[in-house]
Structure 1
Amino acid sequence: MQSATSSKPNQGSAPMMWRFVFLCWIVLSSVGCAAGLPKVADLSCLPESDTAQVDLFFVTDRGIAASAPEVLLDSSRSDRLTYGMVRLDLPTTRKRSFGTITSDFKIASIITYKDSVDFLQEVKARARNRSVLLYTHGFNEDFQESAFRVGYFYLDGCLKIVPILFSWPSKGSMFAHSYDQDSATFARGAYLSLLKSILDSHLSRPVDLMAHSMGNWIVLEALNRLKMEGEVRGKPVGRVGTVILASPDVDVDVFRTLLPGALGVSDRVVLMASQKDKLLLVSRLLALGGARAGQATGAELMNHGIVASRNFSVFRMDSAKVGTCPALGHRCATANPYVVNYEKRILEQRQPQE
């Protein structure tokens, strides 16, 4: 039996290691957020003015601050889903770099719907000739930041879709990784309920899904449960089209076990990975070396049995033609022009993957 005195050094070294890793994470994030992309040419879909309005549907299991005079979504967890739409005033790329969040954005208005029925009626009215994209954000994003990121992705990409943000109760803090992991686990049931209601709403086109970072855990788990339920109760009315798994902060072995479920209920799945993603590298250190699917090399993916198939492909965001991305490579999916154009192509034109 190990003596009490001999175990003390080990007990003390672990907290120091974690503190060191978290400090690395904070420093990396700070540097990454400061980096921007060079301005790109104006896009034809943007208005002539310096600002544009974007209407973004949202569904969330965040709590609503009781003392707020209006709808204010916080980081607490709620058993009740809130359905709404937020109108965003966003600067166009004439005033900022592609895909970057600036200080001169604002929420012009926010409304909530009585229930999912009223919400889906409005979604269907706007989706007559367009596909619906259900987007799930990642770690360290409060409601406002996640809404602005999806708004910029929609605006800068000139996407002809109806975007819906699923905003789970992330703390919006670099120090709250464990809280966000638990919140993501908490949100799986709410996301699955939302997805099933959308699939059963008789939309004219398949529903596309996109997740970023830690949000991939929510989406992959929900798709697996959807597949298992479908095997027992029958398939839903609608179907899932394209699933974009961007920079998944998911262990590569966990990803491998969940991938078949996603493939079983969707037309195709695209993993978007980059070895240059430094924030996922830190997440890998937090996991004591466990490779993250979004940061794994091609060889690592192959060694773990993750290979391309008829309806699964890997898009490398670390290739020379992609170039650089903000946040030390973690924001390629919504802030890099080449990547966003690729996503636009597979979402709107459903062209074959590269």
Structure 2
Amino acid sequence: MVVFGAAVAVVIALIPLEPKPLTQDLPSRPAAGADKTPSLGANLKSSRREGIGRESQTLDRLSQTRTDPPGRERCSLPSAERFPTVGAAWKPCRSTMIPDETMPACGKVHQRGDGDIPGMEARDARGQERRSRTRLIRLLLKPLVLVVAAGLGACASVPQGLLRPVAAAPGTDRVDMLAATTRARSPDPGALFTGERGEGVSFNNIVVSIPRNREVGTIQLPRSVPGNPATDFVVTSETPLSKPELINWFRSTSGRSKRVFVFVHGFNTAFDRAVFRFAQLAHDADADAAPVLFSWPSRGYLLDYARDFDNASYSRSDLADLLRVAVASPSVREVVILAHSMGSWPAVEAVRQIGLKDGRISPKISNLILASPDLDVGVFRRQVEDMGTKRPRITLFTAQHDRALQLSRFISRGATRLGGIDPTQEEYRSQFAGLSGITVIDLSAVNAGDRINHDLFAASPDAVRLIGGRLLQGQVITDSDVPAPVAAAGALSSAAALLVTAPIRVFDAAAVP
């Protein structure tokens, strides 16, 4: 992984912004006394390259020459009328380029200019295309270097075995969560689960201890095992559960609100990182709900994007079954789902599958929150349409400076991901036209966490408060929930308006079209 990151950085550094002039690659003349009888092929190749070099040098001189000889005026005729023979060979003739077979129709001075010489437009266009392609490659590879660097830094500083239970300490907070996973069990008791697929779904009751003296949106992982509960996120209890025992767990943890908060993590996420991220989010959002983590088998490696996507797709039916269990519990009145990044794919698919197979989506599933969703925009629209009209409210957290989604866009060959859209653009406004009950929260002006900007939903204190204070309460986020709007940026449709705020923008599409 270190070698890969270094290699990518070197490649980007070596890619030139401008192509080299043709004459820079031409061979120098042989020195005196050198062998002057090379092979016939070498002679032909050398002559051809020297001829091209002389032509290029002549064209460069001509492009800088703009003074007409005395008594002669520059021709203003179009190229087609000036040189009627197309495709004639060109040769240098002092200060002008004249075709071998056809002289100018007007007899005036003809110097090089835009469109004067047949074929020059195509040559310039190819050069511009190469330069644009080079800039695009460097732009798209930059997020890859940042993501690799961030991944390497995280891997180098966090020890293994973080889920080994330790004794609880006074003066700390706790999050009692249910973890449902399609991962295979790990022989390491400090890891619990691997990044491979398991046999069926495993259920565990995990209690996470959280220190109180820290900033909202941060996760303090121990530097060595076992961690210190007074300063670190640690696990104090881990108990396997069977599926029939879930009813009792919902009864004991849903509280008076009888609300369940389901979290689906994203790409490149090991099981322990998913546990601690969800514990931080549930705690900081002050969620009055029973926290349920659904963890699909992400391998936790940057280069396993394709395999992670397959594993996420593999787990969507199990997530749908978990949602059915929660809805069927008499102790549950409402289910809110929050999915991050690639986890948005199995989350949306699970809700869609329930609607198609069961004929309807239970009204208990009230809100589907997609944070930095790594989804194709058109595919998302079709998924929402398949859910029918009686679907849960959908909230999107987007950010145009999300570098992880920029990398995903590069992998998907230029298709903008749902979490990276600019909702003011017409191409995206048309995708949302006619879809009611969708709210887009643009965090492009927010900076929190690392430079990747992929975890803003959990790292930004403002975003966390919106999740806990509004979305988990089943409410719609409007401009009154964020700082006062400074300008109106337009409308997506007759039923939706985009309000620009500082620094959060809210696109409210919840009204009936």
Structures share fold, TM-score greater than 0.5: yes
Three-state SS of the structure 2 residue aligned to 1:281 is helix
Structure 1 residue 106 displacement after superposition: 2.0
Q: Give, in whole Å, the separation in 2 of the partners of 1:91 and 1:219.
A: 31
Cα deviation 1:221-261 (Å, max 9, x = unaligned) = 11111111122xx665x621111011101111111111234
Letter in 2 for 1:326: D
Please say which of residues 125-134 and 287-296 is displaced more in the overlay: 125-134
Structure 1 residue 268 displacement after superposition: 0.8
Instruction: Choose the corresponding residue for 1:98, options 212, 217, 220.
Output: 217
1:122 aligns with 2:249: yes
Q: Point out the structure with max Rg over C-alpha.
A: 2
Instruction: Choose the corresponding residue for 2:268, options 137, 140, 144.
Output: 140
Instruction: Choose the corresponding residue for 1:52, options 153, 156, 173.
Output: 173
Structure 1 residue 213 displacement after superposition: 0.1
Three-state SS of the structure 1 residue aligned to 2:471 is helix
Q: Give, in whole Å, the separation in 2 of the partners of 1:324 and 1:70.
A: 30
Aligned pairs for 1:228-243 within 5 A: 228-231=356-359, 239-243=364-368
2:147: which partner in 1?
28
Q: In the alignment, is the contact (CA less than 8 A) between 2:336 and 2:365 conserved in 1?
A: yes
Query: What TM-score do the two structures reach when normalised by structure 1?
Result: 0.81
1:84: which partner in 2?
204
Q: Give, in whole Å, the separation in 2 of the partners of 1:350 and 1:102.
A: 32
1:295 aligns with 2:415: no
1:108: which partner in 2?
236
Please say which of residues 308-317 and 271-280 is displaced more in the overlay: 308-317
1:42: which partner in 2?
none
Three-state SS of the structure 1 residue aligned to 2:419 is coil
Instruction: Choose the corresponding residue for 2:458, options 319, 334, 342.
Output: 334
Please say which of residues 77-86 and 162-171 is displaced more in the overlay: 77-86
Relative to structure 1, the CA distance from residue 185 to residue 304 in structure 2 (aligned partners, 3 Å threshold; closer, same or farther) is: farther
Structure 1 residue 120 displacement after superposition: 2.6
Q: Give, in whole Å, the separation in 2 of the partners of 1:283 and 1:330.
A: 12
Three-state SS of the structure 1 residue aligned to 2:276 is helix
2:325: which partner in 1?
197
Structure 1 residue 50 displacement after superposition: 6.2
Relative to structure 1, the CA distance from residue 118 to residue 22 in structure 2 (aligned partners, 3 Å threshold; closer, same or farther) is: farther
Letter in 2 for 1:188: R
Structure 1 residue 139 displacement after superposition: 0.3
Count of aligned residue pairs for this structure pair: 318
Q: In the alignment, is the contact (CA less than 8 A) between 1:54 and 1:155 conserved in 2?
A: yes
Structure 1 residue 101 displacement after superposition: 4.2
Letter in 2 for 1:138: G
Letter in 1 for 2:147: L
1:345 aligns with 2:440: no
Q: In the alignment, is the contact (CA less than 8 A) between 2:447 and 2:456 conserved in 1?
A: no
Please say which of residues 282-291 and 264-273 is displaced more in the overlay: 264-273
Cα deviation 1:154-207 (Å, max 9, x = unaligned) = 112222211100000000111211110111011111111111111112234221
Three-state SS of the structure 2 residue aligned to 1:199 is helix
Q: Tell me: higher relative CO, structure 1 or 2? Use CA pairs within 8 A at least 6 residues apart.
A: 1
Stretches of structure 2 that go unaligned for 5 or more consecutive residues are 1-135, 155-168, 223-231, 479-513
Please say which of residues 303-312 and 131-140 is displaced more in the overlay: 303-312
1:317 aligns with 2:443: yes
1:275 aligns with 2:369: no
Aligned pairs for 1:69-80 within 5 A: 72-80=192-200
Q: Give, in whole Å, the separation in 1 of the partners of 2:152 and 2:422.
A: 24
1:61 aligns with 2:189: no
Query: What TM-score do the two structures reach when normalised by structure 2?
Result: 0.57
Three-state SS of the structure 2 residue aligned to 1:294 is helix
Please say which of residues 128-137 and 98-107 is displaced more in the overlay: 98-107
Three-state SS of the structure 1 residue aligned to 2:431 is coil
Give identity over the alignment, percent.
25
Q: In the alignment, is the contact (CA less than 8 A) between 2:377 and 2:418 conserved in 1?
A: yes
Letter in 2 for 1:156: D
Relative to structure 1, the CA distance from residue 205 to residue 69 in structure 2 (aligned partners, 3 Å threshold; closer, same or farther) is: closer
Q: Give, in whole Å, the separation in 1 of the partners of 2:324 and 2:309.
A: 23
1:186 aligns with 2:186: no
Letter in 2 for 1:312: I
Q: In the alignment, is the contact (CA less than 8 A) between 1:76 and 1:169 conserved in 2?
A: yes
Three-state SS of the structure 2 residue aligned to 1:135 is strand
Q: Give, in whole Å, the separation in 1 of the partners of 2:434 and 2:463.
A: 19
Relative to structure 1, the CA distance from residue 96 to residue 308 in structure 2 (aligned partners, 3 Å threshold; closer, same or farther) is: farther
Three-state SS of the structure 1 residue aligned to 2:339 is strand
Q: Aligned Cα RMSD in Å? A: 2.9
Three-state SS of the structure 2 residue aligned to 1:258 is helix
2:384: which partner in 1?
259
Structure 1 residue 315 displacement after superposition: 1.1
Q: Give, in whole Å, the separation in 1 of the partners of 2:438 and 2:180.
A: 28
Three-state SS of the structure 2 residue aligned to 1:329 is coil
Q: In the alignment, is the contact (CA less than 8 A) between 1:212 and 1:246 conserved in 2?
A: yes
Three-state SS of the structure 1 residue aligned to 2:439 is strand
Cα deviation 1:83-141 (Å, max 9, x = unaligned) = 1111112223x245633343332222211112x22023212222141310111000011
Three-state SS of the structure 2 residue aligned to 1:83 is strand
Relative to structure 1, the CA distance from residue 32 to residue 345 in structure 2 (aligned partners, 3 Å threshold; closer, same or farther) is: farther
Structure 1 residue 300 displacement after superposition: 6.0
Three-state SS of the structure 2 residue aligned to 1:86 is strand
